[in-house]
Amino acid sequence: MKDRENKSSGVELSTICRQLKLESSDGKKYSTDCANTEGIFRIIQSIPSPKAEPFKRWLAKVGYERVQEIEDPELATKRTRALYKAKGYSDDWIEKRMRGIIIREELTDEWQKRGVKEQRDYQILTSEISKATFGITPGQYKKLKGLKRENLRDHMDDFELIFTMLGERATTEIHKTEDSKGVEKLKKRLGKSIVSDKNYLQQPEINKKLKIA
């Protein structure tokens, strides 16, 4: 990697990449150059080859769209809706998901007002709400659905989304009215568990309705 550094671009790859021991196909672990997502983008930008131009144009396009969204936040909402639609989600599901995003933002804003700043604190509080609402942590929930880095909420069905919104909305109201950080009041009991091990994108709602019809 050091031999391929493009110093003319001002980017030293050795400062972006880190060597980690990764397992190879032969079962042995070798030192491998690794970088995070930001680092990968910086490397792409530094490549002088014409083959990298399509990636550079894509990065420029995404950057321009991000600037547009900062100037007009409604554009971000429209693009998110379009993305979910392209993945096969129904309009009803998308409405619940978008509403859930707003409720989540209201909750995190409330937490921020109360001094929560570290990412780990947000994760702990979110985990407490999940345990009170579903009986399991988000990590356990993702494992149940067979997810790794995917967004858990993108793989929830309508019922799961509704209870997620209920738990977070109720927490926000409790903070505002009682100045309480407890989650015992959020526990709900049903005749059956609403937690599902189904990966929602493996069988989009549209396909489910076609099978029922």
> Who contacts 197 (Cβ-Cβ below 8 Å, separation ≥6)?
144, 145, 146
| pLDDT tens digits, one per residue of 15-44 | 777 888 888 888 889 888 888 888 888 888
**Mean pLDDT in the chain?**
80
Lowest mean pLDDT among 89-93, 168-172, 201-205: 201-205
pLDDT of residue 183: 39
pTM, two decimals, is: 0.65
Number of helices and strands in the chain (H, E): 9, 2
- Say if CB 199 and CB 142 are below 8 A apart: no
The average pLDDT across 82-108 equals 94
Res. 12: pLDDT tops 80: no
pLDDT of residue 211: 45
The average pLDDT across 61-77 equals 87
- Triad 70, 73, 75: Cα angle to 5°: 105
Which of residues 137 and 114 earns the better pLDDT score?
Answer: 137
* Segment (H or E) for 29: strand 29-34
Q: Could you tell me the CA-to-CA distances from 56 to 42, 60, 68, 179 in Å, in that order? A: 10, 6, 18, 49
C-alpha 92/C-alpha 54 separation (Å) is 36
